[in-house]
Amino acid sequence: MAVFWHELKKQFAWKLVAIVVAFSALWYVLYVDFYFEYFLNGPNDIATHLVVTEAYEKYGKELNEEEFHELKNDYQRTIDEMDALLLSNEAFRKTGFDGYIDYRDREAESPSQIQLGIDYKSIYEQALGENGELLSWKIQSYQHMIEFYELEILERKLDHTSIFPYFIYTNYNTVIGYVVIMVLLSVFILAAPVYFRDKKERLLPLQFTSETGRRIQAAKAWAVTCMALVVTTLQLGLFFFFYFQEDVDPYLHVNLNSFIQSHLFLFDLTFIQYIVITIIGTYLLSLSAAWLAAIVSRFVASYLGLLGVLVPVATVMIVLANAMLMEYLFTEYQPTLLTVSLYAVLLLGSGIALITITRRDRSLDVR
């Protein structure tokens, strides 16, 4: 056990830890922070969030046909509220429009005829104000929900009646993708010297001359495994600490298969279940990265060789992770068997290879 703790401490050498901390902080600022700052990215997301959370309070997480008709009444009440706001403005009343729908339809049909000597658009925008602008986006959100419900549920007779907005899924999927890259690169940085350090100092032949020295090779494999678990836990823990500060609570127990989602999932997963699956996937990828880095470290003979092999290995793994193993996870766009197979090949392939090398080292003849 003392050998293991010694090797684990070497995995967290302060210089490498400083590099990882600096890299992680820079990566967070460049790529992750934006998705926290703009969790609701623009007025459309804000309005949809308001409409959906109001629907949760009235109808729950799913919408049956009776509740759908009531939702249409909510839509009409929002239009009535908009009409009252616009018609309370004297300049807008003089334009001759009956209200929001009349202005919108006539502008869409023939915007040039609306502006015959009068800037109707400016009058409309002035009549709106800040409250009216939010109302206009809410009306559009209601329209999209109604159109999708009629298409997906009433016409196609699909059964995914949950109310889960697409932007919540895309925001999470994008930001967790950047976090996975940060985790993998951090693990590669810390795991890279695990065997190479002793090889560079020419300690391997000395270690192979005793049983204790040979056990060091196994201790290194365990140490690099624990390092990957610790790094992944810390970085995921920090990420989710900030992520759950956002207003995601209403969506956690909602089914991802929704009539307002663009993806069809192969399993009925709630958002929190999907999050747990991505966490498990991140741990599996992290372990694979640590074991691959250790294998490369065992056989290369120089720093240049270490970089020359690890850089393409890390690049391929990151591209693979984002393109196939995290994005579109369990969706109709990617067969589940392919996803499971790729995870199995990465994890079992790297794990078995590292175990084989470790066992070979324990019985290596150094005469």
Can you give the pLDDT at residue 19?
Answer: 93
- Report the pLDDT averaged over residues 282-295: 92
What mean pLDDT value characterizes the chain? 84
- pLDDT classification of 337: cutoffs 50, 70, 90: confident
Can you give the pLDDT at residue 317?
Answer: 87
Tell me how crowded residue 192 is: count the other CB atoms within 10 A of its CB.
Answer: 24
Can you give the pLDDT at residue 201?
Answer: 55
Measured CA distances, 106 to 101, 111, 114, 130 (Å) = 8, 7, 7, 23
**pLDDT of 57-74, one tens digit each?**
999 999 999 999 999 999
Can you give the pLDDT at residue 228?
Answer: 95
Name the percent of the chain lying above pLDDT 90.
Answer: 39
Q: Is the pLDDT of residue 287 over 80?
A: yes
More confident residue, 130 or 319: 319
**pLDDT of 28-39, one tens digit each?**
999 999 888 888
Residues facing 62 on adjacent strands: 162
**pLDDT of 237-266, one tens digit each?**
999 999 999 889 999 999 998 988 877 888
Can you give the pLDDT at residue 195?
Answer: 74
Residues facing 265 on adjacent strands: 331
The answer to whether the predicted template modeling score (pTM) of the entire model surpasses 0.85 is yes
**pLDDT of 174-213, one tens digit each?**
999 999 999 999 999 998 887 766 665 555 555 555 555 5
Q: Is the pLDDT of residue 280 over 70?
A: yes
- pLDDT classification of 283: cutoffs 50, 70, 90: very high
HEC profile of the chain: CHHHHHHHHHHCCHHHHHHHHHHHHHHHHHHHHHHHHCCCCCHHHHHHHHHHHHHHHHHCCECCHHHHHHHHHHHHHHHHHHHHHHHCCHHHHHCCCCCHHHHHHHHHHCHHHHCCCCCHHHHHHHHHHHHHHHHHHHHHHHHHHHHHHHHHHHHCCCCCCECCCHHHHHHHHHHHHHHHHHHHHHHHHHHCHHHHHHHHCCCHHHHCCCHHHHHHHHHHHHHHHHHHHHHHHHHHHHHHHHHCCCCCHHHCCCECCECCCCCCECCCCEHHHHHHHHHHHHHHHHHHHHHHHHHHHHHCCCHHHHHHHHHHHHHHHHHHHHHHHHCCCCECCCCHHHHHHHHHHHHHHHHHHHHHHHHHHHCCCCC
Measured CA distances, 92 to 112, 177, 243 (Å) = 18, 48, 43
